[in-house]
Amino acid sequence: MIETYIKINGQYQPAVMTLATPADLVLVDAWVEEYEADETPETNDIREYVDSSLEKQEKYAGRNRCPAEWTDFLARASQWQEDEEIAGLFVLKCAALADEILGFTFLRRTWDGSLVMDYLARCPAANPRLQTTRGIGIGLLVAVCKLAELLQAPYLWWETTRSSCKLYWGWLNKAGIVTPPDEPASTLIIAEVAYLRFITYSESPLKNN
């Protein structure tokens, strides 16, 4: 598991990103019906990400490329081979919120050793239990960067939507990571030195408390 942080009632609380269990996958899948009445653009995107992530999970699991245990994922993803991708769906939980699933991300360690984030989503804002919870998205991204560090990935990259691009670059720019002028806005590619800088910046308030 990877340690990160979120905010509850304005206070930092520890959270962890873990490889999803079969039970976790069922709970994430339930978001599609649970928040069916919420037709906001953000929640519509989340439902789409749930469906697409679970389809990818099933596809890679069928090819024996989705390790069921964290230790197996870490071992196989660390010793990458050029003819094999390793993937998995990860969930974010916080003990202060009874380990409810706060968000998820689907990740792939590619043939060249890079880490790709296919999807990242928080639990829909309509969840009444999370009204005072903030920082789920950035907490997940920090955890993803920490996993990239563990795997010694040369690059971390992901595609964006029109709205999420501004959000991600807002986070990265605050950490001093400058938007490359010659790259498409629909894809964010950050090298190891950049994602390490993002980890340091994001966790600096914790060290100063």
Nearest C-alpha neighbor of 137 from the set 67, 75, 202? 202
pLDDT of residue 82: 65
Q: CA 93, 98, 102, 107: dihedral to nearest 10 degrees?
A: 30
pLDDT of residue 91: 96
Max CA separation in the chain (angstroms): 46
| pLDDT per residue as tens, the chain (209 positions) | 899 999 998 889 999 999 999 999 999 998 888 787 778 888 888 888 999 999 999 999 999 999 989 999 998 888 866 668 899 999 999 998 888 899 999 999 998 899 999 999 988 877 878 888 888 999 999 999 999 999 999 999 998 887 788 888 888 888 888 766 667 778 888 999 999 999 998 887 665 44
pLDDT of residue 203: 82
- Residue 130 C-alpha from the chain's centroid: 18
The token duo for 45 is 């995107």
Which residues span the domain enclosing 42?
2-208
**CATH number for the domain that contains residue 50:** 3.40.630.30
pLDDT of residue 209: 44
Burial tier of 38 (Cβ tally within 10 Å: 0-12, 13-18, 19+): middle
pLDDT of residue 31: 86
Domains in the chain, number: 1
Whole-model pTM above 0.75?
yes
Express each pLDDT in 95-149 by its tens digit: 988 888 999 999 999 988 999 999 999 888 778 788 888 889 999 999 999 999 9
Give the 3-state secondary structure of the chain: CEEEEEEECCEEEEEEEEECCHHHHHHHHCHHHHCCCCCCHHHHHHHHHHHHHHHHHHHHHHCCCCCCCHHHHHHHHHCCCCCCCEEEEEEEECHHHCCCEEEEEEEEECCCCCEEEEEEEECCCCCHHHCCEECHHHHHHHHHHHHHHHCCCCEEEEECCHHHHHHHHHHHHHCCCCCCCCCCCCEEEEEHHHHHHHHHHHHHHHHHC
